Each structure stands twice: as C-alpha cells, then as structure tokens.
Amino acid sequence: MAFKQASVLPGFNLSFGYTIFWLSLIVILPLTALVVKTTGLDWAHFWSTVSDPRVVATYKVTFGASLLAAVINLFTGLLVAWVLVRYPFPGKRLIDALVDLPFALPTAVAGIALATLYAPNGWIGQWFAAGTPLGNLFGPEGLPLAFQPIGIVIALTFVTLPFVVRTVQPVLADIEQELEEAASSLGATRWQIFRLVILPTLWPALLTGFSLAFARAIGEYGSVIFIAGNMPFKSEITPLMIISKLEQYDYLGATAIAVVMLVVSFALLLAINGLQWWSARRLGRRN
Amino acid sequence: MAASMTASRSAATTEARWVRWLLTGLALTFIGLFLIVPLISVFFEALRQGWGLFAASFTDPDALSAIKLTLITAAIAVPLNLVFGVAAAWAIARFQFRGRSVLITLIGLPFAVSPVVAGLIYVLLFGAQGWFGPWLAEHDIKIIFAIPGIVLATVFVTFPFVARELIPLMEAQGSDEEQAALVLGASGWQTFWRVTLPNIKWGLLYGVILANARAMGEFGAVSVVSGHIRGMTNTIPLHVEILYNEYNFVGAFACASLLALLALVTLAVKSFIEWRSARLAEEDRRHATEE
C-alpha cells in the first residue's frame, strides 16, 4: 500500500507537513526530552525517588481520591444524564448547559470556591462542623471536609462531573423505545427493563466516562491544592510532589515522578481508546 | 423537542410519577450543590465587602498586569492552535494515509498529560538546567520564568481543542462540495476560503471558545513555568492564588469572578452553537421528509 491514497484535493503536503512540524515542536519533542532526561538517572536514584515513603503516600491519596470521585460520578452522572434525557422539568436547557461548567471554569477558581464553601465556617462546611446536629453524627469533632483527604475527593468530583453525563447522554437518547415496549409487553417490570435492557447498552459509555474522569482526576492540580490542606503523608497529591521537587531545584526528582505519572496517563489513554473502540463496535452492531 | 419525546412515552416506557420526581429532585439537588452553589459563591465572596472594594481590586497594578498577560497569552496561543487545528483537520479528514489514527491519538495526547507535567517538560527543555538552557543563557533569551514559556505551556494544554472539533465535523461533511469547486476551476485556496471555511466556521468557533477558556484559565502548567514574578509573569489564575494565600479573599474572588464570568460566556456561546446545529439538523430532516 502506498503511504497515501490518491485524491483530487490539493494541499496534503502543506497541511500534513505543518501538522507534523507543529506536533513535533509542541508535543513530541518536549515529551521526548522528559523521557531522555530520565535516562540520565541511574536506576537506584530513580527508584529511591519514586519509592520514597512520602511520594508513595501521594500515589495512594491520588489514586484513592480519583477512584472515589470517578465512582461517585458513575452514579450521579448516570442519574443526571437519565433525568436530562427522559424527564421534562423547567429550566432543563439551562441545567444541561451548566453541566459543562467544570470544563469552562478555571481550576484555580473552582479550587478557592470549594475550599471556602467546605471550610468549617463555609456555607456547606458549617453544617458538618463540631457541635452541629449533622456534625455530631460523625463524632465530637464533626466531619471536617476541607483541608482533609475528603476535600480532595470533593474537588475531583467537581472537575470530572461532566465526563459520565456527556458520554452516557447521547447513548441514552438513542435507545429505541420499541425495545422497552417489547420488554414491557413480555411482562418485564420497569426495574427489570432498566437492569436487563437499558443498562447493558449503557455499559460501554459508562465505563468510558468513568475512565475519562479517572484519568483527568489523576493529573488534576489547580482545584485540589486549595482544598487539600497538603499535609505530608495525608493529603498531598502526586502533582504537588513534582512542584515541590522543582521548588527545591531537584529537577531529576521531579522528572522521575513525572515519568511515573506519564506512564500511568498513557496506560489510561490506551484503555480509554480500547473502550471507545469497543463501544463504537457495540453500537455499530446494534444499528 | 425533548419534552415532546418524553410526553409521547407510554406508561410502559416511563416510571411512576413519584419515581420521576424523586430522581429529578436528586439530580437537581446534586447539580445545585456541586455546580450552582460554588458558582454563586464566587460572586458572593467577591462582593462580600461591597462594590467599592470589588472595583478597587482591579485598579491594583499587579491585577491589571495579570489581566494584560492573560489576554496576550490567549491572543497568541489560540490563533496558533487555530491554524494548527485547521491544517490537521484538512490533512486527516480529507486524505487517507498510513498512520492516520496514530496521528489522531498523538494530537489528543496533551489532554492525557497532567498540567504539572506539561509545564515541567518545557522547564526541562528551556530551563537553566535544560537541553537548550546554556545556549539560551548565552544569547540572553528568557523562556522559562518569562512570557514565552507561559505561551508555550498554554499552547500545549490547548493543543487538541480545535483539531478535535474539526476532524469529526469535516469527516461527516465529506469532500463532495470541495471536489465540485475544484472541478469547476477554483484553485485550492479559493476552495478552502469559499467552500470549506464557511462550512466549518461554527465548529471552528466552538473549538476556539473552548481553547480560549482553557488558555485564560490554565493554572497548573503555567504555574510551573511562570516563576510567579509579581506584575511580570502572573496570569489571572496565578494572581488569584497569590491573593488567596495572602488572605486577601475579596481580591482573590474579584479576579476569580472575572474568570467565572468568562466561563459563563463560554457556556452561553457553546450552548448557542449546539442549539443552532441541532436546529439545522432538524430542518434538514424535515426538508428530506417533505421531498
């Protein structure tokens, strides 16, 4: 096969050449620099940096909080998509547009807003403070939300909120009503129809949304650092480790941790591409 | 449209009324708590001490220089990605070649990389200890801890927006109209300006406003390369961070409210474009059935 199929349209060399040039300059070359820089580290130094107990603690916090936020969004995302597609209510178009707010709102703005809201004297945090009826449910000190690991989960839930909604919404809108009518006429209850007819069609979209949210949460920085409290071994996230190594001019250390993050990101990207391929094939077969 | 669809659902294909109300109530409570309350709180905190202090936040020279730098950065980064996005979409959506899907994946790469890592890679290239560091120092060129670095990091994080919007759009439109124009004697550039561009302009605008919102709001990547020099290399998000850490909450939220306003405008334009393309698709369908 030739590199390119013949076409009457002009401009391939120019557009392709420019695409490759700009892609190499902005993305490929800098990422290569990161990988090459790592080869300058000897293995023992690399390993001692990435397996430092304080750094390992950040992996746990980052993965745990990201996983939890993605799981929360799996359920709430399905709920919001379901309500937006199926039920009429006033202001629906506005709510639909607002779902994308976390993509449009700068992460630093989200960060300071959430930190202020969930602080013990904030609009939401005060309901869970020590001595309040809700707070007493969680013990004498109440339930501190901001400046705790749970604050990280809150921030990550906010920034990744649109993913599941936006992947599930179109699939849900495309489900043919006839399928549900057929199931109903065969005696299925609503719950059975949801579980056995609707949910199986939604799985690929749900999983794709879930992994997109998870991948975004792993790398998130701006919204988290304000609400996290950033206590070593407790509420530090991995991207913050890169920043603090850089602040100490430890470029090799920062690079080592960045490589770990990059490998995880690429693995997730591959998984997401696989999921989208699977999901497209499933939908293709149905139509 | 959506309402009529729901209304046409028979009792067998929808839930009992109390279930519908319960689910709608739960979804709206979640949206209210997680999206609307934080959004309102930004404006509330900014205006907490009255309009006077709010307005005073913007007369501070550091705030003004942060606003200026943010505008400059977006004004450079967004057009660069616009040109790239159109070129990439033309090559990918109009031609079949080997490695096409690999190229699409590579273009999407910046979305998969943590913003902090995105900043770091430029420090490793252009920083004092980086590959080109000694050469740059010799020629007295500053990239890291200066405006070029901020622009580069912004170009990186907004890299896929326009291309990602245009590629599926141009693939769906096909190249019949362009081929017709060429057969009728138009040159390549004439075809592009008069046929392709009018067809993709709304998709282009969509990609541009999303890229612009991200360019003006980027925090992590810019924070790594900026060096936080007051009045020099602080963008609005970085200025917000500094004010917040200094407990100047009114100032921080006043600047943040500018960015929140930008987010609302972005959402409004985005919804308008989506509404418009949905209406056009609906009209096309109606014309098709009438014929």
Residue B8: C-alpha distances to residues A251, A262, B3, B5 (Å): 62, 49, 9, 5
Please list the rounded mean pLDDT of every run of 10 residues in chain A (287 residues). 79 93 94 85 88 94 95 96 93 93 95 93 85 81 84 95 94 88 88 90 91 93 92 92 91 91 90 83 62
Regarding predicted confidence, which is higher, A280 or B236?
Answer: B236
Closest CA to B265 of A107, A104, A163: A104
Report the pLDDT value the prediction gives residue A284, as an integer from 0 to 100.
Answer: 65
Report the pLDDT value the prediction gives residue B12, as an integer from 0 to 100.
Answer: 66
Report the pLDDT value the prediction gives residue A120, as an integer from 0 to 100.
Answer: 86
pLDDT of residue B3 exceeding 60, the answer is no
Cβ-based contacts of B263 with chain A (< 8 Å): 101, 104-106, 109
pLDDT of residue B4 exceeding 60, the answer is no
Q: Chain A: residue nearest B114 by CA? A: A219
Cβ-based contacts of A93 with chain B (< 8 Å): 271
- Average pLDDT (B73-93) is 96
Residue B5: pLDDT band (50, 70, 90) is very low
Q: From the candidates B83, B104, B120, B193, which should be mutated to test the interface with A, based on the most A CB atoms within 10 A?
A: B120
pLDDT of residue B7 exceeding 70, the answer is no
Q: How far is B1 from chain A (nearest CA, A)?
A: 10
Beta bridge partners of B97: A4
Report the pLDDT value the prediction gives residue A278, as an integer from 0 to 100.
Answer: 82
The answer to whether the Cβ–Cβ distance between A105 and B260 falls below 8 Å is yes
The answer to whether the Cβ–Cβ distance between B271 and A184 falls below 8 Å is no
Of residues B90, B220, B256, nearest to A15 (C-beta):
B90
Q: How far apart are CA B165 and CA B202, in angstroms?
A: 10
In chain A, alpha helices (H): 12-23, 29-39, 43-50, 53-86, 92-98, 101-104, 107-118, 133-136, 149-159, 161-174, 177-185, 190-193, 199-219, 222-228, 238-247, 251-286
- Average pLDDT (B130-156) is 90
Report the pLDDT value the prediction gives residue A287, as an integer from 0 to 100.
Answer: 44
Residue B174: C-alpha distances to residues B12, B90, B199 (Å): 41, 11, 11
Of residues A30, A97, A180, nearest to B267 (C-beta):
A97
What are the structural domains of chain A?
60-236 (1.10.3720.10)
The answer to whether the Cβ–Cβ distance between A88 and B2 falls below 8 Å is yes
DSSP code at position A126: G
Cβ-based contacts of B106 with chain A (< 8 Å): 23, 27-28
Q: How far is A34 from chain B (nearest CA, A)?
A: 6
Q: What is the ipTM of this complex?
A: 0.89
pLDDT tens digits for range B32-76: 999 999 999 999 999 998 898 898 888 889 999 999 999 999 999
pLDDT tens digits for range B23-33: 999 999 999 99
Chain B, residues 108-167, CB within 8 A of chain A, namely: 108-110, 112-117, 120-125, 127, 129-131, 152, 155-156, 159
What dihedral angle (degrees, nearest 10) is formed by the CA atoms of A172, A174, A178, A181? 10
Cβ-based contacts of B115 with chain A (< 8 Å): 219-222, 239
pTM for the model stands at 0.91
The answer to whether the Cβ–Cβ distance between A10 and B152 falls below 8 Å is no
Q: Chain B: residue nearest A79 by CA? A: B27
Amino acid at B240: V
Cβ-based contacts of B262 with chain A (< 8 Å): 104
Q: How far apart are CA A140 and CA A188, in angstroms?
A: 49
Report the pLDDT value the prediction gives residue A279, as an integer from 0 to 100.
Answer: 76
